[in-house]
Amino acid sequence: MNNRIQNAFDGINAEEKLKQSTSSFLHSKVYAKKRAGFARYAAAFAAVAILFAAGFAGYNTYYSEAGVVDIDVNPSIAMGFNDFGRVISTHAYNDEGSAVLENVDIRHKSYTEALEILIAEMTEAGYVKDRGMVTATLQTQNSQSEPEMLNAMKTCIDAALPQENSEAIEKEVYAVDSATKEEALEENLTPAKYIAIVELQEVDPTATFETCRNSSIGEIKGQMHKKMNGKGKGKNSSDTVSEPAESEKETEEAPSATSEVSSSETESRKGSGMGDGSGGMGNGNGAGNGNGMGNGKGAGNGKGMGNGGKGKHGGRGNRN
């Protein structure tokens, strides 16, 4: 461009000063247009960059997980939601949960609507039964919104269950902390099932996460109650058996007293008591002065644990 302008001026007869000023003027106009074009491109690029950054930030905000709702009937499912309360991820803990998720689309729906859809699908598939149990837990980073969210979850569950047998179905809705959620996730279990198995292990150390994985929470709690009742009964029965009867205590004490009596004395006193002996340690009074430790009755025949002595011999009764 510069050479073309210069060549154009070579054929013009004018003062050198005029040529230079005219050339400078044309140069300034050309460069001004270039700068204006560059500025327009720069402005457009900046606008695109801002829009991209805003879109990227919005995308990150939307798909950032703010909490998780876990539902357990026996299909066990987790729903991750964002700050707007929209479901952005799902996870099935077992095959039953996978089957339920294949039949519904809950992504980008509110967590309450998604919860209602899942329970309705589980009910239709026959998983929710009379005297069954529906458990839902909430783990969220926003503790201030936790009570409101729990109430909303309870309302959704009640609305989704068939009204004719809603009262016959046990419902549990509560919050868990992030540590419990992480521990449960390591075992690929919902927090509610994880807690139920840990409680069962306290009364039944043989229970494991693997053996209880496919059981419902209601079944796990039923096993725990049986173990607790069984332990209670065992303790009571053992206490009853180990406690000796009063008569047995008295019987065990008798040998120490009668051990002092010789065999000849024992033979002479058998069946010879004439008095009445009273009580396990009572006294039998004969014609002489005989003191017995058992119960002796009659003039000649002693009955019970020992016999009263006869005559002057002052002995103690002996067990037959």
Rounded Cα distance, 146 and 171, in Å: 18
Are 104 and 129 contacting, i.e. CB atoms less than 8 angstroms apart?
A: no
Higher pLDDT: 305 or 112? It is: 112
pLDDT band for position 132 (cuts 50, 70, 90) = confident
Whether the model clears a pTM of 0.85, i.e. scores above it, the answer is no
Distance of CA 152 to the CA centre of its chain: 21
Rounded Cα distance, 181 and 96, in Å: 21
Reduced to 3 states, what is the DSSP secondary structure of residue 282? coil
Tell me phi and psi for residue 122, to 5 degrees: -65, -35
Distance (Å) of CA 54 to CA 47, 49, 51? 11, 8, 5
Q: Give the best-scoring range by mean pLDDT among 45-59, 166-180, 229-243.
A: 166-180
In the predicted model, is pLDDT for residue 57 greater than 50?
yes
What's the DSSP call for residue 165? S
80-91: average pLDDT:
96
Higher pLDDT: 34 or 112? It is: 112
201-215: average pLDDT:
95
**Tens-place pLDDT, residues 163-189:** 877 788 999 999 999 999 999 999 999
Question: Average per-residue pLDDT in the chain?
Answer: 73
**Tens-place pLDDT, residues 238-268:** 333 334 444 444 444 444 433 343 444 434 3
In the predicted model, is pLDDT for residue 195 greater than 80?
yes
Q: Name which of 141-145, 170-174, 185-189, 230-234 the model is least confident about.
A: 230-234
Residue 254: the pLDDT is 44
Q: How many CB atoms lie within 10 A of CB 235?
A: 10
**Tens-place pLDDT, residues 271-295:** 434 444 344 444 444 444 444 444 4
Nearest to 252 by CA among 185, 313, 305, 181: 305
- Give per-residue burial for 274-291: e unless 16+ CB within 10 Å, then b: bbbbbebebbbbbeeebb
291-307: average pLDDT:
43
Reduced to 3 states, what is the DSSP secondary structure of residue 170? strand
Q: Provide, rounded to the nearest whole percent, the portion of the chain with pLDDT above 90.
A: 46
Residue with tokens 């868990």: 176
Burial class (CB in 10 A: 0-12, 13-18, 19+), 292: buried
Residue 153: the pLDDT is 96
Nearest to 171 by CA among 219, 138, 133, 130: 133
Q: Name which of 26-35, 69-78, 203-212 the model is least confident about.
A: 26-35
pLDDT band for position 136 (cuts 50, 70, 90) = very high
Are 305 and 278 contacting, i.e. CB atoms less than 8 angstroms apart?
A: no
Distance (Å) of CA 59 to CA 54, 80, 110? 8, 16, 17
In the predicted model, is pLDDT for residue 78 greater than 70?
yes
